[in-house]
Amino acid sequence: MKLKVLENNSNTLFNRKEVKVEVESSSTPGREEATNAIAHEFKVIADAVKIMGIQGIFGTSVFKIRANVYDSKEDKDAVELKKKKDIEREKKKVEAAKAEKEAQQKAKEEAAKPKETPKEENNEEAKSE
């Protein structure tokens, strides 16, 4: 995938670069693929890139991509609106991490507990008395 920067405008108010790039690819690039290519081109992490749109030029294998490139993920999260899908995905990740942490804590507690005597021995002692 060949990437060519058409425009690179700096927006200091939002602490980002608003870019337009042209990509030559045999098939329409997905958002993830476009994000990784732009992040690599501008030397930032992929989480700091927001794809605004991907347009194909009819009859060619050329695509124009508009994106906002932030300095950090925190800058992006402060400015860009999150879709409901993304919010739900983040909630599920947090809940899964919390459940895993609780399971590890429970396993540690069980490993630290002393072993109990079998119930059969206790029953025999009670019958003999």
pTM more than 0.75: no
CATH of the domain at 73: 3.30.70.330
The per-residue pLDDT for range 1-27, each reduced to its tens digit, is 889 999 999 999 999 999 999 999 988
58 and 89 together in one domain: no
In a domain, 126, yes or no: no
> Per the domain annotation, does 123 fall within a domain?
no
Q: Residue 5 is inside which H or E element, if any?
A: strand 2-11
* Residue 10, strand partner residues: 17
Structural domain harbouring 107: 82-113
Q: How far apart are CA 16 and CA 49, in angstroms?
A: 9
Residue 33 shares a structural domain with residue 88: no
Give the tens place of pLDDT for each residue, 30-79.
Answer: 999 999 999 999 999 999 999 999 999 899 999 999 999 999 999 998 98
Q: Using one digit for the tens of pLDDT, what is the confidence trace for 82-101? A: 888 888 888 888 999 999 98
